[in-house]
Structure 1
Amino acid sequence: MATEFAVTWDYRCPFARNAHEHVLTALAAGADWEVRFLPFSLGQAHVAEGEPSVWEKPGDDKGILALQAGVVVRDAFPARFPAVHRALFSARHDEGLHLEDRTVLEGVLSKHSVPAGEVFERIDSGEALAKVREEHERYVASHQVWGVPTFIAGDQAVFVRLMNRAGEGADPATSVRAIERVVELLTGWPELNEFKHTSVPR
């Protein structure tokens, strides 16, 4: 029976990139997992009380456009999602590109054979933003999610920082082991609330 879990993302977070690279690498190698990729807006999470939400003023947030594009690809072009998902993280963190720039997103989508026009049509109609908002708010309400990457299984949720990456060509065994350890702790040892090194080796 496949292991089922969900994991949140916002393309701006380097730790989300690390975790999602491991998940994508393991899945590509045949990991027996059913994974739900969940959008979470870091911009919305940091809106000050009394200020307009990202849902009201998406043009003011630098991450919401790419998040919408990722959700559209996830739902409408699922076979292309792993490559696009990885590439959007790479565009932000390896190439230093601005994901609020439509031409950057168009380049990533086109490179991976996703019709950018169809993606932007769903964004411009408000459909994609409504989907992002619904999923973001659902898991904030049900699991008190406050950041990325958060792993979710059943009624348990945990924020995780994996320090190493799993780029193209990485050993999938390392990724499988890393993610299975996370999920095992999440589902098998919920009594462990916090485990954080006091320093990070460089």
Structure 2
Amino acid sequence: MAEVEGGISIQWKTFSLEQQNSKESPDFMMWENPDYPSQGFMALVAAKAAKNQGESSFLRFHRATFKARHDEGKDIGDLEVLKEIAKQTDLDLVRFEQDMARDETWQAAGEDHTESKKNYNIFGVPTLVFEQGESVYVKLRSIPESREERISLFELISNMGAKRPYLLELKRP
């Protein structure tokens, strides 16, 4: 899945903070337990279901889900909320529901999570992984409104994260 803005190609991957911080057994995997009362893993599966309908469908769904959770305070762990978002973003609702019920969709979300931990030592979101495999966790208060500022911020983070391996952490007091 690639999104391009200002020559920057973004491939969105799922990573579950809930799985990462789980107090369950180390062998417990959310993607193998769809009935587990998760706070948000279902939203990651829903993103995969949206992706099955194409890149533009995924991007619409992704942005709307982010807005629903962070701006509107909606429970994106609730299947009904996710179906409403799918409907609002013009997804094929029947296909979306079918994909949500498929083991393969759940496994795809789990594969992203596992790959992220194994290959890049990811522990939090958002984490950016650059072309050469360098990764950097970034904590943002909000996403910049303007395209120019988003690109400028990405270039700054890329410059620090990918080109300065000796820089380990910047933190505001």
TM over 0.5: yes
Of 67, 78, 81 in structure 2, the residue corresponding to residue 101 of structure 1 is: 78
- The equivalent residue for 1:160 is 138
Gap runs ≥5 in structure 2: none
Task: Using the TM superposition, give the Cα deviation of residue 75 of structure 1 relative to its aligned residue in structure 2, in angstroms.
Answer: 4.1
* Alpha-carbon displacement from aligned partner over 1:88-114 (angstroms, at most 9, x marks no partner): 011112211111222211111111111
Higher RCO by CA contacts (8 Å cutoff, separation 6 or greater):
1
Of 82, 85, 107 in structure 1, the residue corresponding to residue 62 of structure 2 is: 85
Task: Using the TM superposition, give the Cα deviation of residue 49 of structure 1 relative to its aligned residue in structure 2, in angstroms.
Answer: 5.5
- The equivalent residue for 2:112 is 135
* Alpha-carbon displacement from aligned partner over 1:151-181 (angstroms, at most 9, x marks no partner): 1012211111122333xxx321111111111
d(CA) in 1 for partners of 2:93, 2:18: 24
Percentage of matched positions with identical amino acids? 25
Task: Please tell me the residue identity of whatever aligns with 2:57.
Answer: R
Task: Using the TM superposition, give the Cα deviation of residue 40 of structure 1 relative to its aligned residue in structure 2, in angstroms.
Answer: 0.2
Secondary structure of the 1:70 match is: helix
For these two proteins, the number of residue pairs brought into alignment is 169
Contact 1:77 1:114 in 2 (8 A): no
- The equivalent residue for 2:102 is 125
RMSD over aligned CA atoms reads: 1.9
Secondary structure of the 1:197 match is: coil
- Is residue 2:72 matched to residue 1:72? no
What TM-score results when the alignment is normalised by the length of structure 1? Answer: 0.77
Secondary structure of the 2:55 match is: coil
What TM-score results when the alignment is normalised by the length of structure 2? Answer: 0.88
Of 148, 164, 169 in structure 2, the residue corresponding to residue 189 of structure 1 is: 164
Of 1, 6, 21 in structure 2, the residue corresponding to residue 46 of structure 1 is: 21
- The equivalent residue for 1:21 is none
